[in-house]
Amino acid sequence: MNTTSRQRRLTAAAVTVAALAITATACSSGSGGGDAKSAGSGTYTVWDPYPQFDKTSDWAKLVDQCGTKAGVKVKRTAFDTSDLGNKTLLAAQQGNSPDVLIVDNPVVSTLAEAGVLTTTADNKLDTSKADPNLLAAGQTGGKTYGTPIGANTLALYYNKDVLKAAGVDIASVKGWTSLTAALAKVKKAGKKGITFSAIGTEEGSFQFLPWLWGSGAKLTELDSQQAVSALTLWKDWLKEGYAPNSVLNNTQTTSWQEFASGDYAFSENGTWQLANAKKAGFGYGVLPIPAAAGGSAAAPTGGEFVTIPVQKDTGRYATSQKLVTCLTSGDNLYNTDTTLSYVAPTSEVQDKQVAANPELKPWVDAVKAAKGRTSDDLGTKYPKISEQMWKAVQSALSGSKSPKDALSEAQSAAK
């Protein structure tokens, strides 16, 4: 009796100690990661989605310099890009938003809808120099919620060696029919045709959009004849073996790895792979994604916006505005976009980029023709449409539904 109660007391004590230890660590980590602004009003917080850049990187140094120029201390925190939207919503709920937020462009309209971001009318940010087609992604309800820091988009990389072996002249690829014909030739020559990413996430929608827009379809009418033709194009490529079945699970990175193996003629991928393309060890070229009837299709814009979240103390906006202007103008913008391998959002800096690196020319053209996913005042309707769209693509390509059925179902679900 005595011994058991003593044992019980001992275990109770042990449990208490363990619990105390856990709560103590939990509390300390909580306060460490939580309130970023408690350091005083002289410190301005910047959140960005570039965890690949540490304190010694050019980007981090630039952020610091801009802070010094504005006369304040800047605390920069980098998040994973897929995390940043939710992190910002949570921070705003707790009244703890950063002073400057750099965020993926399709998230801007969601954050604006949540009332997290200030408009350029409030924060006096000058957006007149940014290309209107890029700026549109951050505009909803007639208001602008930030300025693009850089842009990227999709195009077709091609393997010159594979095309040569298959006897395909790249100049002959002008529309969908000629592209499919080229793929057929490549397959006949024993090589593989094209790889892309049709995964069941936003990435899949991003990759499907150039074909959707290239067919003349609109995001608001997923069940249109043109949209069905775009999905049928992909479906037939899979059926004929021009594209591998693995596209259904490919991210843009794994799709690139397939292309980098040297077996594929084409790969739909982004500006950010340019550095890897040089390392691939075969001759490559870049072609804008063709539209159905010829010409270039509009591709969706990628890249981030610099925004100024709502603060209780509205006096902070003036300094935040100085910070953002410093980050997004002139030489700084050129340097930033070079480090991020983005195409600049202003034609002045774009010219400078092309002058320094002529390889960027097709990409600058592609960006100029590109279109924001949340443009056309779609705003927060886009995420819903996008989810139904990638589901439809997955259903059709995996063979569980016909393209027509999949898309009409998507259209009724997205409404």
The smaller minimum CB distance to other proteins, of residues 283 and 399, is found at 399
Closest CA to 252 of 208, 188, 203, 292: 203
Q: List the one residue from 8, 10, 13, 377 that touches other proteins (CB under 8 A).
A: 13
The smaller minimum CB distance to other proteins, of residues 310 and 349, is found at 310
DSSP assignments along 244-269, one per residue: -GGGGG--HHHHHHHHHTT-EEEEEE
| Strand 43-48, strand 73-78: pairing | parallel
Q: Determine, following the binding rule CB under 8 A, whether residue 116 of this chain makes contact with other proteins.
A: yes
> Which one of the spans 156-164, 167-175, 219-227, 375-383 is the region binding other proteins (CB under 8 A)?
375-383
Q: List the one residue from 132, 283, 294, 399 that touches other proteins (CB under 8 A).
A: 399
Q: How many residues does the chain have?
A: 415
Q: What residue type is 148 in one-letter code? A: P
Q: Determine, following the binding rule CB under 8 A, whether residue 50 of this chain makes contact with other proteins.
A: no
Q: Determine, following the binding rule CB under 8 A, whether residue 113 of this chain makes contact with other proteins.
A: yes
Q: Determine, following the binding rule CB under 8 A, whether residue 369 of this chain makes contact with other proteins.
A: no
Q: How many chain residues bind other proteins (CB under 8 A)? A: 46
| Bridge partners, residue 45, by sequence | 75
| Beta carbon of residue 387, minimum distance to other proteins (angstroms, whole number) | 5
| Beta carbon of residue 192, minimum distance to other proteins (angstroms, whole number) | 9
| Bridge partners, residue 194, by sequence | 266
> Which one of the spans 122-130, 207-215, 340-348, 390-398 is the region binding other proteins (CB under 8 A)?
390-398
Percent helix, strand and coil across the chain, each to the nearest 5: 55, 15, 30
The smaller minimum CB distance to other proteins, of residues 23 and 77, is found at 23
Q: List the one residue from 72, 78, 102, 107 that touches other proteins (CB under 8 A).
A: 107
| Beta carbon of residue 92, minimum distance to other proteins (angstroms, whole number) | 5
Q: What residue type is 130 in one-letter code? A: A
Q: Determine, following the binding rule CB under 8 A, whether residue 16 of this chain makes contact with other proteins.
A: yes
Q: Where in 306-335 is the site for other proteins (CB under 8 A)?
A: none
Q: Determine, following the binding rule CB under 8 A, whether residue 403 of this chain makes contact with other proteins.
A: no
The smaller minimum CB distance to other proteins, of residues 27 and 356, is found at 27
Q: List the one residue from 397, 407, 410, 414 that touches other proteins (CB under 8 A).
A: 397
**Is 333 in contact with 62 (CB distance < 8 Å)?**
no
Q: Determine, following the binding rule CB under 8 A, whether residue 410 of this chain makes contact with other proteins.
A: no
Q: What are phi and psi of 66, to 5 degrees?
A: -65, -35
Q: List the one residue from 6, 8, 10, 12 that touches other proteins (CB under 8 A).
A: 12
- Count Cβ neighbours within 10 Å for each residue of 392-413 and write b for 16 or more, e otherwise: bbbbbbeeebebbebbbbbbee
Q: Determine, following the binding rule CB under 8 A, whether residue 111 of this chain makes contact with other proteins.
A: yes
Q: Residue 313: count other Cβ atoms within 10 Å of its Cβ.
A: 8
Q: What are phi and psi of 152, to 5 degrees?
A: -140, 170
Q: Token pair for residue 196?
A: 């892309």
Q: What residue type is 260 in one-letter code? A: A
For residue 194, what is the enclosing H or E element? strand 192-195
Q: Determine, following the binding rule CB under 8 A, whether residue 402 of this chain makes contact with other proteins.
A: no
Helices 317-327 and 330-340 cross at an angle (nearest 10°) of: 70
Q: Where in 69-98 is the site for other proteins (CB under 8 A)?
A: 85-86, 89, 92-93
Interface characters, 175-204, with other proteins (x: CB under 8 A): ------------------------xxxx--
The smaller minimum CB distance to other proteins, of residues 17 and 356, is found at 17
Helices 176-188 and 225-240 cross at an angle (nearest 10°) of: 10
Q: Determine, following the binding rule CB under 8 A, whether residue 146 of this chain makes contact with other proteins.
A: no
Closest CA to 48 of 75, 15, 78, 90: 78
Q: Determine, following the binding rule CB under 8 A, whether residue 383 of this chain makes contact with other proteins.
A: yes
Q: What are phi and psi of 266, to 5 degrees?
A: -130, 155
Binding site for other proteins (CB under 8 A): 12-13, 15-16, 19-20, 22-23, 26, 85-86, 89, 92-93, 106-107, 110-111, 113-116, 199-202, 244-246, 248-249, 258, 380, 382-384, 386-387, 391, 394-395, 397-401
